[in-house]
């Protein structure tokens, strides 16, 4: 690896790696025997996307990488998003200042993770990336440009192990949703408010830069999907404004790469929290456009029902919706989903915002119970692990083409352990509640 250490690549699925420093753009690697090598055609809608997000890495958020934020929670302006984290780190010169973020990039995800992902039977990674991977302007405190260096490493690692990449633009100027993972918690300033259209134009400029990059011959067979905006708050923006933005972005991307298979990326459009049916017919005759949905159960009404009671919930809740969308719109992916059925977990709703389950979240009306049984994974018994595994398999079968959120959850610096276990694919593999072979999901919904 980059630091000189070594590891053993274990892949029981016939995957083959390839790396030759004299032939750095060779795409012969194959993640598993049943998946097309990078130099072969991936048939979207026929070949299944079995993917995982690499969250909390290049686009940080408190619940995925809590140890980054915890040293600054007692500040007068606590670190609750990457904006306030960046401000706090820049002031903390004694501990390395903003360079602490680059150390996180170096250590949180490495080549070994990509090897393990291929070895887990997965064939895609969705990598959230912020606009400041390109640049910052004015008083924006983010570390500009550095995360892009590590995205280039991700391409190298993905190419080596035969993994395809979905580059997801997770944070856009002004914030597309006002949530912490958009870079700045608070108001929505994209397609909304006095700077809404200026921020939209700036976002389109960045989309052009990303599109021109990934359309180059040496990258287009590795970075094959472009998610142009993560979780925009469509009801605030309005579907018409969001649709027009999507069409502008579509034209920019197709101008950069051309039309037809192999020319530029497959374009992934988040549903904006509108129903899937509301997008049918919006982009007639568009070239390689898919709809992205994020089906989470945990942010809905909370229940004290045991994990085993959710065994068929993905099948009954999502199966027919996905089938209908695949028929009426086209490729429909679950860009994010998890094993969580409650909102229990450290900072899951945001820093110190509590949980619905324990009745401590703003607007909660009652306490359902203690979160401990849902987060104390070291004490989960075989019944709990089997129930989670059953839920995961049902989710995979119902969603068909998916990216689990997320590959890795970082340890809390306070407890020294993962406190949101239902969200970590890696932890589940290591401890027996995630399937060793995602193909086991075939037929789980009957």
Task: Indicate which residues carry an active-site annotation.
Answer: 231, 336
CA distances from 307 to 96, 303, 312 (A): 43, 10, 11
Cα torsion angle, 369, 375, 377, 383, sign: positive
Contact 182, 246 (CB under 8 A): no
Instruction: For residue 44, count other CB atoms closer than 10 A to its CB.
Output: 18
Contact 282, 243 (CB under 8 A): yes
Tokens of 163: 């993994």
Contact 269, 228 (CB under 8 A): yes
Tokens of 412: 């809390």
- Enumerate residues 6+ apart whose C-beta is below 8 A from 200: 190, 191, 245
Q: Which residue has the tokens 């104390």?
A: 376
Instruction: For residue 433, count other CB atoms closer than 10 A to its CB.
Output: 24
Q: Please spell the DSSP secondary structure of 1-19, one letter per residue.
A: -TTS-------TT--B---
Contact 151, 129 (CB under 8 A): yes
Q: Which of 96, 93, 88, 58 is nearest to 71 (CA)?
A: 88
DSSP, res 283: S
Q: Which residue has the tokens 């290591």?
A: 430
């Amino acid at each position: 690896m980059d630091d000189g250490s070594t590891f053993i690549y274990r892949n029981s699925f016939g995957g083959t790696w390839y790396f030759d420093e004299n032939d750095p753009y060779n795409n012969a690697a194959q993640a598993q025997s049943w998946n097309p090598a990078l130099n072969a055609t991936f048939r979207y809608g026929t070949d299944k996307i079995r993917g995982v997000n690499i969250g909390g890495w290049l686009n940080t958020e408190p619940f995925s990488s809590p140890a980054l934020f915890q040293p600054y929670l007692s500040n007068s302006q606590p670190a609750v998003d990457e904006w306030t984290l960046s401000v706090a780190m820049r002031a903390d010169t004694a501990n390395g200042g903003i360079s602490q973020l680059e150390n996180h990039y170096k250590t949180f995800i490495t080549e070994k993770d990509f090897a393990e992902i291929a070895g887990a039977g997965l064939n895609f990674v969705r990598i959230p990336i912020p606009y400041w991977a390109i640049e910052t302007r004015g008083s924006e405190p983010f570390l500009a440009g550095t995360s892009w260096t590590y995205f280039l490493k991700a391409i190298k690692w993905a190419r080596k192990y035969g993994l395809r990449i979905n580059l997801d633009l997770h944070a856009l100027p002004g914030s597309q949703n006002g949530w912490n993972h958009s870079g700045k918690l608070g108001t929505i300033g994209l397609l909304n408010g006095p700077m809404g259209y200026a921020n939209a134009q700036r976002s389109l400029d960045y989309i052009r830069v990303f599109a021109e990059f990934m359309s180059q011959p040496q990258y287009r067979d590795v970075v094959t999907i472009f998610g142009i905006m993560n979780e925009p708050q469509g009801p605030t923006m309005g579907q018409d404004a969001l649709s027009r933005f999507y069409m502008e972005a579509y034209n920019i991307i197709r101008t950069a790469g051309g039309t037809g298979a192999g020319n530029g990326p497959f374009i992934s459009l988040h549903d904006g929290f509108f129903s899937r049916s509301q997008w049918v017919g919006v982009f007639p005759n568009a070239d390689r456009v898919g709809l992205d949905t994020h089906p989470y159960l945990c942010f809905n009404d909370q229940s004290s029902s045991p994990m085993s009671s959710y065994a068929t919930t993905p099948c009954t809740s999502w199966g027919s919706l996905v089938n209908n969308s695949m028929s009426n719109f086209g490729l429909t992916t679950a860009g994010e989903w998890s094993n969580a059925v409650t909102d229990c977990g450290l900072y899951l709703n945001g820093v110190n915002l509590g949980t619905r389950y324990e009745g401590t979240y703003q607007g909660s009306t009652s306490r359902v119970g203690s979160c401990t049984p849902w987060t104390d994974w070291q004490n989960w018994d075989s019944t709990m692990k089997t129930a989670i595994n059953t839920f995961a398999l049902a989710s995979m079968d119902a969603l068909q083409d998916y990216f689990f959120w997320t590959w890795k959850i970082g340890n809390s610096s306070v407890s020294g352990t993962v406190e949101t276990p239902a969200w970590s694919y890696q932890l589940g593999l290591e401890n027996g509640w995630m399937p060793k072979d995602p193909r086991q999901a075939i037929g789980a919904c009957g």
